[in-house]
Amino acid sequence: MWLIVVAAVTTGAARSAAAQEPEAATREAVLEQKQIEKLPTVHPYVPGKTEALFNRAEEVLVGGMLRWHPFFESAYYGGGFTVGAGYAHHLSAYNMLDVRGSYSIKAYKRVEAEFVSPQLFHRRGMLSVMGGWREATQVGFFGTGTSTSLDDRTNYGVQQPFASVLLTVKPTRRYLTLIGGAEWSRVLQRPGQGSFPSVESQYTPETLPGLGAEPTYLRTQATFGFDWRPAPAYARRGGFYGVTFNDFADRDKAFGFRRIDYEAIQHVPILREAWVISLHGLFSTTSRKHDQDIPFFLLPSLGGGSNLRGFSSWRFRDRHSLLLQAEWRIPVNRFLDTAVFYDAGKVTARTEDLNFDGLKSDYGFGVRFHSPFATALRIDIARSNEGTSLVFATGAAF
């Protein structure tokens, strides 16, 4: 009797399990079918035309894959709207020869060739060898000091053939930065063109050192600094602190001098780089060699697209200069930043006068189109007590 009961129970359980297995299998099959039906509606992300264009621009800026490329750098500041082109020929996987030229609306001309080897010493060094010719036809000169007037403006021209070599080394790949270089150049000061008087109509060689001069220079330079920015041409964090020594040796020993630049840059990210506070300070001082003079066209200057943006290019000149800048940068997307900025500075004949009294200042707003490592275009609108300026530049202000 007990055997009959056990057999019945076992048989019932087996039938129940057999009945549940098809039901479970059926339910699983239905779920799998529903998942399969959804698959045709799932597609990989395809960027739109605008994003694809920006992606291509980023590839060019970062990877340098474009042989023919635009080149918008003028021969000197203040050249106005500039157009140009270059051709980059890769000599090896990393080494490159770039031949380029530009022409501005004010007839500023620039032609040069540069060889770049960016992967020396196991990616710790970069070598640049460059040669070319530049000409500016109407560079502004307002006199020396900060008390000059816009009505004092004169123009001068300059022609400059040059050849240079520059070696940058980062022994630890971060922080410590060593830069050394030499440049041969001949600076030919010429009469100015444009709507303002030429400089020789208002000055003489006795009242303005360097007027009409044609010095031939061997300039040597050395920079010692600490740099932990991701890239100098565009950064949202990190900083640079360094000093650069320049020696201008005149072949005729008439216009030789020395110049020292002390520079500090700091980028402070806020809220995971949603905002960036960028600060810049630059102090430049010159000294004469024995009884030689410093030509007026090589004096430290302020004014223009990278320093006092609300003033004319080359607006202030003198033996020594002080520049202070601050920007509040707001990234919009990975290609575009906006910025609110403030600039202040002065030039003096004596180093002891380089203080915070009587600073010239401006403020403004700008946008920057960039890749992760370079600034392709910067547009700034700056306001000072001398008017409003519109700046177009192909690099970061600092």
Task: Report how far apart, in Å, the C-alpha atoms of 282 and of each of 78, 324, 367 are.
Answer: 21, 7, 23
The one-letter code for the residue type at 113 is A
The whole-model pTM stands at 0.82
Taken in order of first residue, the domains within the chain and their CATH numbers are 67-393 (2.40.160.50)
Write the DSSP assignment of 375-387 as a string of letters.
EEEEEEEEEETTE
- Look at residue 42 in the predicted model and tell me its pLDDT: 47
The one-letter code for the residue type at 277 is I
277 with 270: CB under 8 angstroms? yes
- Look at residue 146 in the predicted model and tell me its pLDDT: 94
Round to whole Å and give the CA distance between 113 and 132. 6
Round to whole Å and give the CA distance between 110 and 102. 5
- Look at residue 1 in the predicted model and tell me its pLDDT: 41
Structure tokens at 4: 């009959």
Round to whole Å and give the CA distance between 149 and 315. 9
311 with 346: CB under 8 angstroms? no
- Look at residue 137 in the predicted model and tell me its pLDDT: 96
Other beta carbons less than 10 A from residue 390's beta carbon:
11
Round to the nearest angstrom and report the end-to-end CA distance of the chain. Answer: 99
User: Among residues 152, 83, 91, 150, which one has the least CA distance to residue 119?
Assistant: 91
SS3 state at 58: helix
pLDDT tens for the chain, 398 residues: list them: 443 433 443 444 444 444 444 554 565 665 566 555 554 544 455 555 655 655 555 555 444 457 899 999 999 988 988 999 999 999 998 999 999 999 999 999 999 999 999 999 999 999 999 999 999 999 999 999 999 999 999 999 999 999 999 999 999 988 999 999 999 999 999 999 999 999 999 999 999 999 999 999 999 999 999 999 999 999 999 999 999 999 999 999 999 999 999 999 999 999 988 999 999 999 999 999 989 999 999 999 999 988 999 999 999 999 999 999 999 999 999 899 999 999 999 999 999 999 999 999 999 999 999 999 999 999 999 999 999 999 999 889 99
The one-letter code for the residue type at 147 is S
Round to whole Å and give the CA distance between 296 and 285. 14
What single DSSP character describes residue 121?
Answer: H
